[in-house]
Structures are given as structure tokens and as C-alpha cells.
Structure 1
Amino acid sequence: MSGERRQLERPLTHVYDAAYTGVPNWDIGRPQRAFVQLLDAGLVRSPVLDVGCGTGELSLFLARRGHDVLGIDLSRLAIGQATEKARWRRIPARFLVWDALQLSGLRTADLSFRTVVDCAMFHVLGDRERDRFISGLGDVVETGGLYCVLGDARYDQREIYGLSPEELRTRFGNAGGWEVVFDYRTVFERRWSSNPAYFIGVQRQ
């Protein structure tokens, strides 16, 4: 897949590379609690794709517990840090610089997934990007597979930032072949604060 590492010069690439020269506020050094609970509930099945994986804490957590995990992120700096963590911790997670809006390219490489985890990636996407991402999910998620997203609850309905269960029901409903199977309010933890959030699971039919 190394030859496929193109199309990564979206404007946000440089923004996130700059963020990862330090420790971003969203990088808390461990997985968010919602994903720990997801694992404890037995809802994570391999292979797993971690979209917008950052420095890899969620990927490493799942891989340490026996799951086959691929983490992808726009930021080469974040992926480099995740790869180093995996090496030093001796955890067999894999990481790849890849644009989550190009998931169909993973399918071209014969990759498909039973679980996709998304820790605060979807909630920063623009309107058209959200539909494009959902279309790509349809190419790589197996029948019965689960997409699980954690993101800030939308506080201003005039803005696209954040997410809501109603929005995901509408977008995935329009895409066809998906069903929201759980949603609940929780928090998204940051290093110095926390925000009201939603944790939502959508199953491929």
C-alpha cells in the first residue's frame, strides 16, 4: 500500500502535523472511556480500523487485547509517533498515513473491517466530507460490521461542527444499508477539560 500514499495534502494535514509537534489537548494518553466500555461489552470484532487514530492510544489498547488493528491518520507526524509507541510497547498494531475520505482505496488493497472506531474524527468534517466518508465506509465495512463514533455534541444547530444521533440517522439512512443500533450521551475528555459528547454505533446491514 505504500504506493497508495498520495492524496494527503488536504489543508488539515499541515494543521494536524503542527498540533502533533507538541501534545494536543485531545491526546489524553489513553483511550476514551466509551471505547473501553465498548470492548468490555464484547462489541469489538476484528479486524478493526481506527480512523483518525492520532498517536495510536486507542489502536494500541485494542491490539493489546488481541484485536487485529489498523490505525490511519492524515498526519505523518502522528503516525510516526504511533508506530514508535507500538514498537517500544511491543504491540502488533499497524499504522498508515491515509486520508479517511479515501477509504475505498483500502478496499482496493483487499482490506475490509468488522469494526471501525472513530474517536473525534467525524465531528470535525465538513458537510460534504461527512457524506463522502460514509460512502467510503460502505466500501470497507463487512455486513454486520459496526461503526462506532465518539464526538462532541453539537451545541449550535447552525454549525456543522459536532454531531447528533438525529444527524447520523439521516445521513446513514440516506446512504442506505445502515442502522443506528445505539446512541447515548457521554463526555469527550481532553487533557484540561471535557465536553458533552455522543457515542453512536451504526451497523452495516
Structure 2
Amino acid sequence: MAGLSSHDEADATNPWQWLDDLYAVRPPWEIGHPQPAFLDLARSGAIRGRVLDVGCGTGEHALMCAGLGLEVFGVDLANTALRAAEDKARRRGAEVRFLHYDARRLAALEERFDTVLDSGLFHMLDPDDRAAFTGGLRAVLRPGGRYFMLCFSDREPETGARGPHRLTREEITDAFADALRVDSIEPATIEITLDPAGIRAWRVAMTRV
């Protein structure tokens, strides 16, 4: 779930150190299992073919997909999270290819996927980075491929603390208008360790037409 937003204290020698710092202790979104909103998709058969998990964090959703017998790639910029994901894969006997990679440059992967999962990445992007991300999604998704996103909703109260942007339906629709067809935007919950009620979220389904 590590994001790609800009950071005021980025180290010039390692601009992504702040992402690793998020995993110095267990982050609240590290719940030890897939988010229920995505687990439901897996159980319904909606996740198919070659899968890309963008902002894969410690790999729970990538490993979920590997458990379905699917070919899976997971990309993130947090090395600490990727090491944890690789360790989980070894312990579980799962085959997933984890890459240290910038999700704003998906087209440069030169890979094609049938499904892309995004649990908590898009809502961390700076607005100026959204077009690069959505264009990259269109490039890596095969025609008919699906993109499933779980993000903070504007129904979640603002706390005043720095954090993910609370997205409106209109912002989501506008951001992806030139890249993918929005099929559904449904209320959902992001489970976290800090609050049993979780975070009010949107689960979004889109198709590359």
C-alpha cells in the first residue's frame, strides 16, 4: 500500500527512503491478510489471467492471486516492504515476481496484464502524477483487461493529519476518463489495525476498452 506522493523530507541520495520508513514499524494497513474488498473479488472469479499488483507493499494481494494459480507481478518503491513480501512468498511456497519499480512508469515495463490491482496507491499520488499513472495503466492492460482500485473515500472524515487524499466519485471518473471505462464505484472499507471500523473507501472497477 506504499504510495508515491512527494515528500518534503526526501533524501537526495535515496528519494524513496521515506517509503521504507513507513515500514520501520508495522503500518496500520499491514493487517496480515488481503483486504476483504479484494478477497471478495478473488472469490467471485473477477481476478483473472496475468496480474499486476501496483503498490504491492508486503504482498498480501499478490500472494492471494498466486494462490489462485495466476501469474503475478508486484511492484513497489519500498524496499523494506518488498523484502517482507519475498519472505512471505518463500514461507508460503508461492511464486510471485516482486520488482522495485515506480508505478508512474508502467508502460516502460513492456508487459501486458489481464488484471491490475491497486490497494491504496492511487489515493497517494500527487494530482500532477495521475495522468502518467492512468496512461501507464492503459498501456499495460490488454483490451478487456480490468483494473480494481481500493481508495480512501470522501465519506471518510478529515483528521487534519497528512495522509491519503479522500477521493470523490467525480475525481475518480475525471482522472480515468481518457484511459479506462469506469464500470462501478462502490462503497467499501479498508481494514486497518488502529480502528476496528476501518476506513471508508471506494472499490472501483474499470475496463480497458
Q: Does 1:87 align with 2:90?
A: yes
Q: C-alpha displacement at 1:115, in angstroms?
A: 0.3
Task: Look up the match of 1:203.
Answer: 207
- Write the mapping of 1:70-85 to structure 2, written as runs, cut at 5 A: 70-85=73-88
Residues 129-187 of structure 1, C-alpha deviations (whole Å, 9 max, x = no match): 11210011111011000110001102589x981223322221221x24x2111221011
Task: Look up the match of 1:169.
Answer: 173
Which of 94, 97, 101 is the aligned partner of 1:98?
101
Distance 2:205 2:119 in 1: 12
Q: Does 1:189 align with 2:196?
A: no
Letter aligned with residue 118 of structure 2: D
Number of equivalent positions: 191
Distance 2:63 2:153 in 1: 26
Q: Percent identity?
A: 35
Q: C-alpha displacement at 1:83, in angstroms?
A: 0.7
SS in 1 for 2:187: strand
Conservation of the 8 A alpha-carbon contact between 1:54 and 1:75: yes
Residues 72-104 of structure 1, C-alpha deviations (whole Å, 9 max, x = no match): 001111111101110111101110100101101
- TM-score (normalised: structure 2): 0.86
- Write the mapping of 1:15-94 to structure 2, written as runs, cut at 5 A: 15-94=18-97
Distance 2:50 2:166 in 1: 27
Letter aligned with residue 45 of structure 2: G
Conservation of the 8 A alpha-carbon contact between 1:73 and 1:96: yes
SS in 2 for 1:105: helix
Q: Which runs of 5+ in 2 are unaligned?
A: 1-5
Task: Look up the match of 1:3.
Answer: none
Conservation of the 8 A alpha-carbon contact between 2:149 and 2:204: yes
SS in 2 for 1:40: helix
Distance 1:185 1:203 in 2: 19
- TM-score (normalised: structure 1): 0.87
Distance 1:25 1:161 in 2: 16
Conservation of the 8 A alpha-carbon contact between 2:152 and 2:164: no
